[in-house]
Amino acid sequence: METVLRAAAIYLVLMVVFKIAGRRTLLQMTSFDLILLLIISEATQQALLGDDFSVTGAALTIITLVTIDIVLGKLKSRFPMVEQAIDGGPVILVENGNLLTERMKMTGISPDDVLEAARSGPGLERFDQIKYAVLEVNGHISIIPQTDS
């Protein structure tokens, strides 16, 4: 039972930490982010298994983590408020060419990140060419270009 409680506690801690850390996809990871992820995984393994290095303990830990993930997935699909609390929603970063700096600071996205997404997507070079830049739940920035009237 201790293994199940350890796994549940670590799952919740990691969920909160990564929620606070912000949305960053694997494509946006720096080498420091990768090193940090490896260190976190090693620390998590130690916390999950403690002194129990048996196959049974590891299997029980994995089953607990996957079960929690499945239950949270079901809760998110059934209750939109749970999904909003866990995953958040899309955030508009640029509106009609104007940077929404408070939102950008809140999400940890820089103007350079938005311009990079604008260049790589629709091939835009300036903010005045962007109608909306939206930080999606998956960490990607969607760019909607201004339309010529």
Identify the residue with better confidence: 115 or 34.
115
The pLDDT of 42-65, averaged and rounded, is 75
Q: Return the closest-CA partner of residue 129 out of 147, 106, 105.
A: 147
pLDDT at 22: 66
Q: Which residues pair with 145 in a beta bridge?
A: 130
According to DSSP, residue 127 is labeled G
* pLDDT of 142 above 90: yes
Please report, for residues 66, 68, 124, the alpha-carbon distance to residue 71 in angstroms, rounded to integers and kept in the order given. Answer: 9, 5, 42
Whether the per-residue pLDDT at 35 is higher than 80: the answer is no
Nearest to 92 by CA among 128, 120, 131, 123: 131
pLDDT attached to residue 119: 93
Mean pLDDT over 21-35 rounds to 64
Would you list the domain boundaries of the chain?
A: 2-86, 91-145
Q: Answer yes or no: are the C-beta atoms of 136 and 120 closer than 8 Å.
A: no
**Interval 90-124: pLDDT, tens:** 999 999 999 999 999 888 889 999 999 999 988 89
Per-residue pLDDT, averaged over 27-37, amounts to 68
Mean pLDDT for the stretch of residues 135-146: 89
**Is 91-145 CATH 3.30.240.20?**
yes
CA atoms within 13 A on the CB side of 106: 11
**What six digits make up the tokens of 91?**
């955030």
- How many Cα atoms sit within 13 Å of 50 on the Cβ side? 11
117 near 133, Cβ under 8 Å?
yes
Rounded CA separation 142/133 (Å): 6
Q: Which residue has the tokens 């999950």?
A: 48
Lowest mean pLDDT across 3-12, 34-43, 130-139: 34-43
Residue 15: the pLDDT is 80
pTM: 0.64
